[in-house]
Amino acid sequence: MDTRLANRVYYFEESQTLEMAKKARELSAKGVKVINLSLGEPDFATPKHIIEAAKKAMDDGFTKYSPVAGFLDLRQAVSDKFLRDNGLNYSTNQIVISTGAKHSIMNVILALINPGDEVIIPNPYWVSYSEMVKLASGKPVFVPSNVTNNYKSPASAIEAAITDKTKMFLFSSPCNPSGSAYSKQELKEIADVFEKYPNIFIVSDEIYEHINFVSKHESIGQFQSVADRVITINGVAKAFAMTGWRIGYIGAPEFIAKACEKLQGQFTSGANSIAQRATLAALTGSLEPTKAMTAEYLKRRNLVLKRLDEIPGVKANVPDGAFYIFPDFSYFIGKTLNGTKIISTRDLCYYLLEVAHVSMVSGEAFGNPECIRISYSLNETDLNFAFDRIKEALTI
Ligand code: GLU
Is pLDDT above 90 for 396?
no
For all residues of the chain together, what is the average pLDDT? Answer: 96
Pocket lined around ligand 1, Cβ cut-off 6 Å: 15, 17-18, 39-40, 102, 126-128, 176
244-287 pLDDT, tens per residue? Answer: 999 999 999 999 999 999 999 999 999 999 999 999 999 999 99
Which mutation among 16, 41, 236 tests ligand 1's pocket best, with the greatest number of atoms within 8 A of CB?
41
- The pLDDT, as a whole number, for residue 11 is 86
Which mutation among 12, 14, 17, 324 tests ligand 1's pocket best, with the greatest number of atoms within 8 A of CB?
17
Which pLDDT band, with edges at 50, 70 and 90, does 55 fall under?
very high
292-341 pLDDT, tens per residue? Answer: 999 999 999 999 999 999 999 999 999 999 999 999 999 999 999 999 99
Is pLDDT above 90 for 1?
no
CA of 180 to the centre of ligand 1 (A): 17
136-194 pLDDT, tens per residue? Answer: 999 999 999 988 889 999 999 999 999 999 999 999 999 999 999 999 999 999 999 99
66, 276 Cβ separation under 8 angstroms: yes
> Where are the strands (E) in the chain, listed by range?
35-36, 95-98, 118-122, 139-143, 166-172, 201-205, 230-235, 248-251, 324-325, 336-337, 340-341, 358-359, 361-362, 372-375
**Among candidate residues 368, 352, 355, the one with its CA nearest the CA of residue 37:** 352
Which pLDDT band, with edges at 50, 70 and 90, does 16 fall under?
confident
Q: Which residue puts its alpha carbon closest to atom 4 of ligand 1?
A: 40
Which pLDDT band, with edges at 50, 70 and 90, does 19 fall under?
confident
Mean pLDDT of 201-213: 98
Residue 212 DSSP one-character state:
B
Buried b (16+ CB within 10 A) or exposed e, 30-63: eeeebbbbbbbbbbbebbeebeebbeebeeeebe
CA of 335 to the centre of ligand 1 (A): 30
Domains of the chain: 7-45+289-393 (3.90.1150.10), 48-284 (3.40.640.10)
Work out which ligand 1 atom sits closest to the CA atom of 128: 9
**Among candidate residues 326, 306, 294, the one with its CA nearest the CA of residue 213:** 294
Work out which ligand 1 atom sits closest to the CA atom of 243: 5
- The pLDDT, as a whole number, for residue 280 is 98
- The pLDDT, as a whole number, for residue 14 is 87
- The pLDDT, as a whole number, for residue 149 is 86
CA of 102 to the centre of ligand 1 (A): 9
Q: Which residue puts its alpha carbon closest to atom 1 of ligand 1?
A: 40
306, 356 Cβ separation under 8 angstroms: no
Is pLDDT above 90 for 207?
yes
Work out which ligand 1 atom sits closest to the CA atom of 40: 10
Q: Which residue puts its alpha carbon closest to atom 2 of ligand 1?
A: 40
**Among candidate residues 253, 260, 271, the one with its CA nearest the CA of residue 94:** 253
Mean pLDDT of 221-236: 98
